[in-house]
Structure formats: C-alpha cells, structure tokens
Amino acid sequence: MRQSLYFRNFLAVALIVFLSFTLLGGLSSAWNYRRTMSEKRDMMIVTLQETARYITVQHVYYGVDLGDLSLSMWLSFTSSVSGFDLIVTDADGVVRACSERDIMHFGRQVPMSILQAAAMGGDNVRLSSVGEIYPERRQVAGAPIFGTTSGEAMIFGYLFVSSDMAVFRHEWQTFSGVFLIIALNVMVLTFVISFLAAKKMAQPLNEMAGAARRFARGDFSTRVESSEKNDELSHLTKAFNAMADSLESSETFRREFIANVSHELKTPMTIISGFAEGLLDGTIPPENEKKYLGVILSESRRLSRLVKSMLDMSSLQSTDSSGTLDGKFDISEIVRLALLSLDGKIESRKLDVEANLPEEAIMTCGDSDAITQVVYNLLDNAIKFSKPQGIVGVEVWKQGALAYVSVKNNGEKIADEDLPYIFDRFHKGDKSRSFDKEGVGLGLYIVKKILDNHNQNIFVESRESLTEFIFTLAIAKE
C-alpha cells in the first residue's frame, strides 16, 4: 500500500516526538529523583543535628530525662513537621523516647554496631532496619547525644532519624504518574497537530501531483489554488502555476504552429501538384506550359523561403547568441547594402526611396549578420506592402547611447487589433494573403527575436497611409 508524503512525515515527527519525550522524561525523572533524594538526606541531617542539640540543651541545662514525656511530645511535633521518624536511646541503646504515638518501640535494643556507627557522627545516611526496631529497611541517620558528668563530656544517649522508603516511593510514583499523564496528553496533542499540519502542508503538493498527471494527459488548463501567505509553499504554488501557464502557452503555440505550417505548405504544394498533373496529362495547352512552369517555380521558391525562415527561427531559439554581440559595425553602411540588395524589388514596384543616412559612420555593437537580416526584413516588408509607385523611407540617427533606425512606407494601415500580434509567429493581418503574397508570417518574428537577443527594442506605429518601424542599437564604445 502506497504511503503518502504527509503520512511519512507525520510518522517521522511522531517518532521524533516520542523519542524526545521518552529521553526527556527519563532524564528528568532521574535528575528529579537524585535531587529529591539529596534534598531529603540534607533535611534528614539538619533535623538530626538540630534535634540532638535541643535534647542536649534540655538534658544538660534543664535536667530533662531521656524518658520524659515532654521529650516524646517534642519528637512527635518534629516528626509531623519534617516527615521523619525519630527515636532516642540511652547510652546502652535502649529506646527511651519515640516520635510515634504508640509505645511499641519503647524498651527495644539497638545493636551495638549501629550505636558505634552513630557515635562516629558525620553526615552518614545508610539503609537499615535499626536492628529490630523497624520491620523494613529505611534510610537512617544517627548521632550521639553528649552530656556532662563531673565536668566531663560523655555520651549519654543516641538519636536516630529515619524515613520510610515506601512512603517516598509512593510519593514519587504519584508524581511520576502525573508527569506521565501530562506527557501523554502533550504527545497526543502534538501528534494531532503534526498530523493536521503535515496534511495541510502536503495538500498543495498533492494538488500539484494531480495537476502534473493531468498535464501528462494533455490537459494544461489545471491550476493549483494559491494561498495569500508569503511562505515557501506559496512560492512553489505560484511557480507551478507560472509553469502551467507557460506549458499551456507552448501547447497552444505548438498547435497553432502545426496548423499554420500545414496551411502554408498546403497552398503551394496544392498549386505545384495541380499544375504538374495538368502538364503531364495534357490538360494545360503546350503554349501555356511556360507560364505554369513559372508558377510552379514561384511556389517552389516560396516553399524554400518558408523552410529557410523556419530554420532561422529554430536557430534563434536554440542558439545562445550572447557570444556574438561584441562585434562593431557601421549601421548606416548596413542600411545602404540592404537597399542595394533590394533595388530590383524597388524598381519592379516603381517605388521612391527616401533615405536619410548620416555621412559619418555610426558604430554600433552586436552581430552584424543578424542586424543585416533585421534591416533586410523590415525593408522587404515595407516594399511588399507599399502602394504601387509609393514611398519607402529609411532613416538612421544617434541619440545618447543608442542608435535609432526607422523604416516606413505609405501602405495600408495595420488594424489596431492586429498591432499587438504582428511580431508573433505566422501572424498575418490579411488572412487571405497566403495565396498571392510572398510572406510566410515569420519575418517580423525573426526581427523581434534578434533584437531581444541584443537586449534592444522595436516600436511600430501605423496610421492612415503610413506605417513606421523603429528599432534601437547600442553605440559601440571607442
């Protein structure tokens, strides 16, 4: 069974949280246990020392006997405050006073080994049942009680302070149980939040995966809903939608490109095929053969131009031209050569040329061959769509760090709705001109692509009887 990304992330987070809580709980419990035990021992020693000092003062200065009832009452009060059990023995180890209310410990004997350990004093806390005094082993600390006889200090009794470990363990278990309940609640809450957060974070990714699968089936209309948050997932969603827009645009272009190429190829091929069959089967009279062979030749050349334009377009799209933009050339000279190469077309349409070219050279930088094609395409377009016996104008001038080239003609106005698309591939304002014009709709696209590669701009303005293209070039540094 396939596991989703958010489920795996949730399991990872849950495992990390569980291990973290286990480690933290274990370390915290161990540390708290050691700290509590240390504090309990310290309190036991303090209770032992202060109570022994009190008994000594009561015995030496006030003559209070170890078996006095007031002493037992004081031990009971101290036990209730401190939580420890206290017993007092005489010098022979016989219990004379006790903090407990019953008298079960009175008269019992504390072994000599325990008395000797208590006589050494210090802060020694050990596990012991104090002989047969207590039925269980407990933490015990003992100290001697000193008095004076004939002016000499001597031990006249012993004080033992003890704590029942069972009570301490019960308290500790209660505390650990509360801690465990809190920890489990926090862990469950963390798991739930982590699960919901991981699922919410994975939702855009799941939508992207679904959209990608639809893309693979050819449906490029799907988009992923983007949130208003400024986070990584939002940026990824926006980038994904931008990619989807690009893919949809590319797919639309691909379909249009195939349709346009098919249309452009179909017309001349139909003409060539039809006239060739007419020549072969004798439908076309012999005296008209030369005329229709000329048509076949013209359409063949048109096919050749279409293929060449498509190759130029492919070359512009696949070749990085950044390494050819450091050349220097005189843009005025390139315009003159382009006019000379088109002289035959200009004469055939009986056009007048108005050229305003500076006498001094204007050195610009870029790929001279590519810019020559730009000038040639613009002039060829201007000649092609000029009115018979009309005017074609070309002008070059320099302004600041840029050179400007203007190509214009007095032909038909380009429709306003067509102006934004004239640099698109295969775009033709006159949809019927495939048959009777030489253009294939790639000339201006190639012009725009070359200028884009040079990081330059081209502008177009069309009004009644005048259409003008102006493009820029960077002035070469001396």
pLDDT at 363: 93
pLDDT at 392: 93
pLDDT at 201: 72
pLDDT at 457: 93
- Location of structure tokens 């419990």: 29
Sheet holding 391-399, edge to edge: 352-356, 391-399, 402-409, 466-474, 458-463
Name every residue whose Cβ is closer than 8 Å to that of residue 14 and which is 6 or more positions away in sequence: 191, 194, 195
pLDDT at 438: 52
pLDDT at 335: 92
The closest of 407, 418, 415 to 384, measured between CA atoms, is 407
In degrees, to the nearest 5, what angle opens at C-alpha 159 toward C-alphas 156 and 160?
150
pLDDT at 321: 46
**DSSP code, position 323:** G
The CA distance from 212 to 222, in Å, is 9
Contact criterion met (CB below 8 Å) for 54 and 47: no
**Which tokens go with 147?**
């008095």
**Which tokens go with 7?**
């489920």
φ and ψ at residue 449, rounded to 5 degrees: -65, -40
pLDDT at 459: 92
The strand pair at 363-365 and 402-409 is best described as unpaired
CA distances, 348 to each of 248, 343, 387, 457 (Å): 45, 9, 12, 32
The CA distance from 220 to 433, in Å, is 32
**How many DSSP H helices and E strands does the chain contain?**
10, 12
- Location of structure tokens 């919410």: 200
The CA distance from 270 to 393, in Å, is 37
Please compute Rg for the chain using Cα positions: 53
pLDDT at 408: 92
The CA distance from 132 to 252, in Å, is 99
pLDDT at 394: 95
How many Cβ atoms are within 10 Å of 467's Cβ, its own excluded?
23
The CA distance from 408 to 387, in Å, is 12
One-letter amino acid for residue 455 of the chain: N
The CA distance from 419 to 429, in Å, is 9
Q: Residues of the chain whose pLDDT is less than 50?
A: 1-3, 321-323, 431-437
pLDDT at 36: 76
- Location of structure tokens 């060449």: 308
The CA distance from 458 to 451, in Å, is 7
Strands (E), 357-418: 363-365, 391-399, 402-409
Q: State the pTM of this model.
A: 0.46
What is the dihedral angle through the alpha carbons of 221, 226, 230, 233, rounded to the nearest 10 degrees? -80
List Cβ<8 Å contacts ≥24 apart for 186-194.
186/21, 187/17, 187/18, 187/21, 190/17, 191/10, 191/13, 191/14, 191/17, 194/10, 194/13, 194/14, 194/17
pLDDT at 143: 86
pLDDT at 407: 94
